[in-house]
Amino acid sequence: MRLTIISSILLLSSMFLISCEETKQDKLPYIGQHSYNNGDTILYTIPAFNFINQDSVSVSNASLANHIYVSDFFFTSCPTICPKVKKQMLRLYKKYESDDILRLVSHTLDPKRDTPEVLKKFAGNLKVNTDKWMFLNGDKDEIREMALKYFVAVVEDDEAPGGLDHSGKIVVVDKEGHVRAFAEGTDPDDVTDLMDEIDILIAEYKN
């Protein structure tokens, strides 16, 4: 009897230890299709890019190299998921407003209509500082190609409201250009979990 009690206590405490270990994550995984070369792992990396922002100033992967950034794809006239995703991006903006390590990068999928001028007005109406949250415009095909690199599928579809079908993923990229976390931008709970993951990533750099 005594033995049973002791062993159940041991079992319980070891379960507790295991569950602690599982929840207390100190490093985020590396996401994407990694490649292998002579036994070395080459981590999946967002390829080099060069777009222009809401002030027609060039923004590249190099100019973001000192920052963790969260990325999404949208267009200003999108009637469906974009406003919901933007609301979640705004939550992220507000949470990390004073932490300079984090940037937000929104790419327009409709660069013809969403000129830098339109994007600037959009940012102004959203009441955000564009040093922290930038809105990128570029060649339509290059942006769509880039969306795929962030695991965002884009399909031109005349039947879809607004003419484009795309997913509302919010993707977290570290300073080295590796994808470390993502969330469905239409799901507030998923974005709450993403905040915990971003905190872990920030701690990786600050420790």
Partner 1 sequence: MENGTGLAELYPPLNGSDWLMLNKEQLPSVMRYGIEGDLMVNGIKYTIPMSGIPELSAVEISNITNYILSAWTNKLGGMSFEEVQESLSNSDGNK
Which stretches of the chain bind partner 1, using CB under 8 A? 76-80, 83-84, 86-87, 90, 121-122, 124-127, 159, 161-162, 188
Least distance in angstroms from the C-beta of 130 to partner 1: 14
CB of 115 to partner 1, least distance (A): 13
- When the beta carbons of 95 and 149 are compared against partner 1, the nearer one is 95
Nearer Cβ to partner 1 (86/169): 86
What does each C-alpha distance from 69 to 30, 85, 101, 169 come to in angstroms? 15, 16, 8, 14
Q: How far is the CB of 127 from partner 1 (least distance, A)?
A: 5
Return d(Cα 143, Cα 18) in angstroms, integer.
43
CB of 86 to partner 1, least distance (A): 6
Cα–Cα distance measured from residue 98 to residue 100, given in angstroms and rounded to the nearest whole number: 6
Residues composing the chain: 207
User: Please, are residues 131 and 147 in contact by the beta-carbon 8 Å criterion?
Assistant: no
Q: Which is nearer to partner 1, 26 or 158 (CB)?
A: 158
Nearer to partner 1, 127 or 206 (CB): 127
| Tokens matching residue 2 | 């005594």
SS3 188: helix
